[in-house]
Amino acid sequence: MFTTFDYILSFLGTAAPIYIVIRLAIHRELSRYFAIAFYSASAVAASIGLFAIMEIHGFSSPQYLYFYYYSESTLAILLYFVVLGFLRQLFEDLGTEIYVRIGGILLLSATALVSFLMVEGHKDYMTSRFVVELGRNLNFLGVVLTFLLWAAMMKSHETRARMTQLALALGIYFCSFALSYGLRLSHPEWQLLKTLPPILSTWLHWSWAYTFTKLPEEARLVTLRVAAFRTR
Which residues would be at the binding site for other proteins (CB under 8 A)?
136, 140, 143-144, 146-147, 150, 161, 164-165, 168-169, 171-172, 175-176, 178-179, 182-183, 185-186, 206-207, 210, 214-215, 219, 221-222, 225-229
Task: Please name the residue ranges forming H helices in 93-191.
Answer: 97-121, 128-155, 161-186
Question: Cα-Cα-Cα-Cα dihedral of 108, 71, 208, 25, to 10°?
Answer: 90
Closest CB to other proteins among 118 and 183? Answer: 183
Smaller CB separation from other proteins, 46 or 143: 143
> Minimal distance in Å, beta carbon 165 to other proteins?
5
**Shortest spacing between CB 180 and other proteins, in angstroms:** 9
Task: Please say which residue, 8 or 56, places its beta carbon nearer to other proteins.
Answer: 8
Q: Which is nearer to other proteins, 47 or 207 (CB)?
A: 207
For the chain, the C-alpha Rg in angstroms (whole number) is: 18
Query: Measured from the CB of residue 16, what is the shortest distance to other proteins in angstroms?
Result: 11
Amino acid making up residue 49:
G
Q: Rounded to the nearest 5 degrees, what angle is found at the Cα of 51, between the Cα atoms of 168 and 170?
A: 5
Min CB(132)–other proteins separation in Å: 11
CA 19 – CA 55 distance, rounded (Å): 25
What CA–CA distance (Å, rounded) separates 92 from 46? 32
Residue placing its CB nearer to other proteins in the complex, 90 or 215: 215
Question: Which residues on neighbouring strands pair with residue 160, listed in sequence order?
Answer: 220
Query: With the CA atoms of 158, 18, 84 and 232 taken in that order, what torsion angle do they form, in degrees rounded to the nearest 10?
Result: 30
Q: How far is the CB of 167 from other proteins (least distance, A)?
A: 9
DSSP string, 112-129: HHHHHHHHHHTTTS--HH
Closest CB to other proteins among residues 104, 182: 182
Least distance between other proteins and beta carbon 139 (Å): 8
